[in-house]
């Protein structure tokens, strides 16, 4: 469900005391964000308001609901910025003409080309690494090299993975389509199915099932394990980055763009520039995401537990985002549910 707008508290008492004319003027200093990302934005928005004097109003909802709302509102949309998770969602929003292109040296300097739209429609702000997770007592990590290796019969009855309706699974398979071609990607996924993979409804369930002995190895976004380790440093699951000897590990993004019919596009641009630079740590650290800006240091927990540096797949997020439909079709053909 989509909630009501919430606002940063800076100057709230002053705003309540303003006249109707003053309120209209204050609205010109407010940027509105529709967000399908639900982790840690509030602290970043509060700090942005403190630093710039620009208030942020934000509305949380599902990715699809918010895109439909923006489309339905058309030129009267209240959204200046649309923020979401997964390259497939960002690509779809761009295809549906949700965004307008941004000409921003600050953003293009801060965000590598593979983590942003080639036309400047959207920019990745946080990196979500989807990789191997395993029980160290039952798995030799040297056996975990590339995602396609999980099709090896040695993993029969030992795999647990996320369902096909999950956007992160879809983007991972889309990257396999990009690297190996459609038919080979189908064969890789079919190998997972033939190994009697246990399909689960969340990354947390994958991790908890490994810990409980229900399976030995799986694939998850890194920050889900970071959350569990934050609660319990002895949680018995470890992480290994896939692709170190090949293309590199698959990296997805959370990101945002300024909407096509934004009332305040310049304020939206300023917010994105700040989130990509001075506000990077505040934006990503609360969810244990890796910074999209390579000049920004990852927060201590993931840096110490997983490593601050790793070989990253340089495949463009926009490229594998464009292959989402092929990924869904490949999983259906392979019998992956």
pLDDT, position 27:
81
Q: List, in order, residues 6 or more apart from 36 with CB less than 8 Å away.
A: 60, 61, 62, 63, 66, 83, 84, 85, 89
> What's the average model confidence in pLDDT over 140-166?
97
3-state secondary structure of 99: strand
pLDDT, position 305:
97
> What's the average model confidence in pLDDT over 322-334?
98
pLDDT tens-digit series, residues 230-265: 999 999 999 999 999 999 999 999 999 999 999 999
State the DSSP code for 119: T
Distance CA 57, CA 43 (A): 13
Q: Kindly give the residue spans of alpha helices, DSSP state H, lying in the chain.
A: 12-17, 20-27, 41-52, 63-73, 87-95, 105-110, 167-180, 182-194, 203-212, 222-231, 265-276, 280-285, 300-305, 317-321, 324-334
pLDDT higher than 90, residue 329: yes
State the DSSP code for 249: B
pLDDT higher than 70, residue 7: no
pLDDT higher than 80, residue 274: yes
Query: What structural domains and CATH numbers belong to the chain?
Result: 6-126+252-297 (3.40.190.10), 128-250+311-334 (3.40.190.10)
pLDDT tens-digit series, residues 66-106: 999 999 999 999 999 999 999 999 999 999 999 999 999 99
> Measured in Å, how far apart are the chain's first and last C-alpha atoms?
26
pTM, full prediction: 0.91
Measured CA to CA in angstroms, residue 27 lies from 8, 22, 56, 259 at distances of 13, 9, 10, 17
Q: List, in order, residues 6 or more apart from 14 with CB less than 8 Å away.
A: none
Task: Give the pair of three-digit tokens for residue 13.
Answer: 């008492």
Distance CA 57, CA 4 (A): 10
Q: Contact 48/271 with Cβ under 8 angstroms?
A: yes
pLDDT, position 9:
35
> What's the average model confidence in pLDDT over 145-161?
97
pLDDT, position 6:
57
pLDDT, position 285:
96
pLDDT tens-digit series, residues 11-69: 322 222 222 333 333 488 999 999 999 887 899 999 999 999 999 999 999 999 999 99
Report CA torsion sign: 317, 321, 322, 326.
positive
pLDDT, position 39:
80
Q: Which residue has the higher pLDDT, 4 or 104?
A: 104
Q: How confident is the model at residue 298 (pLDDT cuts 50, 70, 90)?
A: very high
Distance CA 171, CA 253 (A): 10
Q: Contact 177/327 with Cβ under 8 angstroms?
A: yes
pLDDT, position 5:
57
């Amino acid at each position: 469900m989509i909630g009501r707008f919430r606002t940063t508290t800076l100057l709230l008492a002053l705003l309540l005391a303003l006249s109707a004319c003053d309120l209209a003027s204050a609205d010109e200093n407010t940027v509105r964000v529709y967000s399908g990302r639900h982790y840690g934005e509030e602290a970043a928005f509060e700090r942005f308001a403190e630093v710039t004097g620009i208030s942020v109003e934000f509305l949380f909802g599902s990715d699809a609901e918010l895109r439909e709302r923006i489309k339905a509102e058309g030129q009267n949309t209240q959204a200046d910025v649309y923020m979401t998770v997964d390259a497939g969602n960002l690509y779809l929003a761009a295809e549906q003409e949700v965004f307008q292109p941004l000409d921003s040296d600050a953003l293009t300097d801060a965000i590598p080309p593979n983590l942003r739209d080639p036309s400047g429609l959207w920019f990745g702000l946080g990196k979500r690494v989807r990789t191997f997770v395993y029980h160290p007592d039952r798995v030799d990590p040297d056996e975990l090299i590339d995602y396609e290796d999980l099709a090896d019969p040695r993993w029969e009855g030992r795999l647990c993975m996320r369902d096909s309706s999950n956007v992160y699974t879809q983007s991972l398979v889309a990257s396999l389509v990009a690297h190996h071609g459609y038919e080979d990607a189908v064969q890789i996924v079919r190998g997972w199915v033939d190994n009697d993979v246990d399909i689960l409804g969340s990354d947390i369930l994958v991790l908890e099932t490994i810990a409980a002995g229900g399976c030995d190895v799986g694939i998850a976004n890194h920050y889900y394990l970071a959350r569990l380790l934050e609660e319990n440093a002895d949680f018995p699951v470890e992480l290994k980055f896939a692709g170190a000897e090949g293309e590199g590990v698959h990296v997805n993004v959370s990101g945002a763009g300024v909407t096509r019919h934004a009332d305040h596009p310049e304020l939206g641009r300023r917010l994105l520039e700040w989130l990509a630079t001075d506000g990077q740590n505040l934006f990503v650290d609360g969810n244990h995401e890796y910074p999209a800006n390579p000049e920004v240091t990852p927060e201590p927990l993931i840096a110490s537990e997983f490593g601050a540096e790793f070989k990253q797949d340089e495949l463009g997020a926009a490229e594998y985002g464009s292959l989402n439909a092929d990924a869904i079709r490949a999983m259906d053909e392979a019998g992956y549910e």
